[in-house]
Amino acid sequence: QVQLVEAGGGLVQPGGSLRLSCAASGSIFSIHDMAWYRQAPGKQRELVATITNGGSTNYLDSVKGRFIISRDNAKNTVYLQLNSLKPEDTAVYYCKAEIFVTTLRPLDYWGRGTQVTVSS
């Protein structure tokens, strides 16, 4: 059925940058809201950024001014640009998409995550 695959994670020094991507594939009629979450070991998963199908965005306070969420609807892909990275940004980053697979109503789908490690 529907599959979301994240990419772009890795090891970066404090102050560095990464760009994450999440591509959706499968039986997709349309995609509405998309979002990025993150989860550090032993911690609760937290919402990092959201973007509507109209392009409106919202961010976690601690990442405002540093991260940018965007999307390419033609490619069924959402991106997260991470700038000025800090050690506390270390986590597994997950994407979520609200997707219509029928015309009835949308359902939430999750990727399996990509690791971001910020360390000197």
Contacts (Cβ under 8 Å, ≥6 apart) of 47: 35, 36, 37, 60
**Which amino acid belongs to residue 87?**
P
Q: CA-CA distance, 78 to 35, in Å (whole number)?
A: 8
Taking only the tens of pLDDT, the chain with its 120 residues reads 899 999 999 999 999 999 999 999 998 888 999 999 999 999 999 999 999 999 999 999 999 999 999 999 999 999 999 999 999 999 999 999 999 988 788 999 999 999 999 999
